[in-house]
A and B are shown apart, each in its own frame.
Chain A
Amino acid sequence: SAAAQRPWKLFGAMCLLRLPRITQPLEKVEEAMAALMEQIELEKSHYSDHEVRKLEEEEQLKKKKESLYDEDEALGKTVIMAQDLEEKWEQKFLQFKAAPRITDADKNNDRTSLNRKLDSNLTLLVKQKIGNQELWLLPQAEWQPGETLRSTAERAMATFLGDHIQAKVLGNAPYGIYKYKFPRAIRTENNVGAKVFFFKAFLQSSDLSQAELKADHLWVTKKELGDYLKSEYLKKVNRFLLD
């Protein structure tokens, strides 16, 4: 049959990405430019209602200090000055505490947690047994006849993360391919090597508490991939991973 004659084994692998949740820090040029743009906008603008009110009140205060008989007018009036409003707003702002950009997981360098490196993409890596070696790879599964490669990749993802994963697969087409030949000991006429087709998906849900993690897994950024993947494999994966 056609399946037996094919010398290359087919695998479908899923590159699951957790998209960034916070903005990346600005470079120096970007910060300087942003400050300049704000300055230019300020220079080209006119006074707003709030600022006009502030200026008028300042003038009134000056007049009151210079002329002493205005105290009679001020009796009975509790006027809220624009300056007081500003101070009130400032106080309210200082009371609010935002969540930190660098989380605990960052500080501990806990690579299994999803809360790390919130400003970059995180890829899932799992430890799999290939031949007689335990390697860190993108989750892959062997293709069964009767399914498309995309479903193979989705099945691979489900085996490692459970069925309750919400991921958006980006299209039916593979993004990359890694071809390798088996070592001479196992290689036969009908079994030359394997082709691993990579698919890309975005992780939709942010918590994986329901996921049944069956093997060792890691969430790493593009730069850290080099610590775990072999060089040829890494080269192919880097081509379709945007930073």
Chain B
Amino acid sequence: PCRAQPKKKKKVDVKKEQAQKERMKKKLKKLEKAAPELIPIEDFITPLKYSESNRVRSLPPLSPEESERRVLLMKKWCLFKQKQDEAEKKAIKALVESQQEALKELRLESEELYQAAIRRDEGLFPFERDGPSYTPPLPGYDPPEGKCVDITKVYTQ
């Protein structure tokens, strides 16, 4: 006598559960089909508090002599940079020429040494070097201690 009822419950439950699962699967498929949200680039969005009017700087307007001076300085700078670039390129060209000449002479001497010379140097790259600073390092300097906490937001698609 107790058998019939539990059986019905089980069947109905199983059917209901299956229907639920199918609904969930359909929802998942719909979500996956939707295009992924673009990760916002925080550098390109200016926070609203910086566009308030009280933030605008009040400075006297530029005089014509000042703007004239600026334009002339920028022209001088352009010329200076051009000369600098040309000098760099010339120096590099001389370097390469010198190396080619050396390799040519080496080849005349011995093929074996030449092959050893043009082989790639595996230990050279990655080449790391700290650039120069404004003042040389102070001997015996004790930098102040502190902790750096990284609060960058990480977005996942």
Contact = CB atoms under 8 A, between A and B. Distances in A.
Contacts of B54: 47, 52
B59 A175 contact: no
A173 B135 contact: no
B127 to A, nearest CB: 7
A184 B120 CA distance: 40
A92 to B, nearest CB: 11
B98 A29 contact: no
Interface string B93-111: 0110111011101100110
Given A22-B132, A172-B118, A10 B109 contact: yes
**Interface range, A side:** 35 or more
A240 B109 CA distance: 21
Interface of A: 2, 6, 8, 10, 19-23, 27, 29-30, 32-33, 36, 42-43, 45-47, 52, 98-101, 103, 118-119, 148-150, 168-177, 179, 195, 197-198, 202, 236, 239-240, 242-243
A195 B74 CA distance: 49
Interface of B: 50, 54-57, 59, 70, 73-74, 76-77, 80, 91-92, 94-95, 97-99, 101-103, 105-106, 109-110, 113, 116-121, 124, 127, 129, 132-139
B137 A29 contact: no
B57 A45 contact: yes
A20 B133 CA distance: 9
**Chain A to chain B: the 8 pairs with minimum beta-carbon distance, closest first:** A239-B98, A177-B102, A98-B135, A46-B55, A174-B102, A148-B116, A99-B138, A176-B98
A173 B103 contact: yes
B129 A22 contact: no
Contacts of B95: 175, 239-240, 242
A197 B102 contact: yes
A6 B98 contact: no
B134 A29 contact: no
B121 A177 contact: no
A202 B98 CA distance: 19
A11 B132 CA distance: 34
Nearest to B133: A22
B102 A27 contact: no
B37 to A, nearest CB: 30
B59 to A, nearest CB: 6
Contact of B134 (A23, A30, A168, A242): A23
Contacts of B105: 177, 179, 195, 197
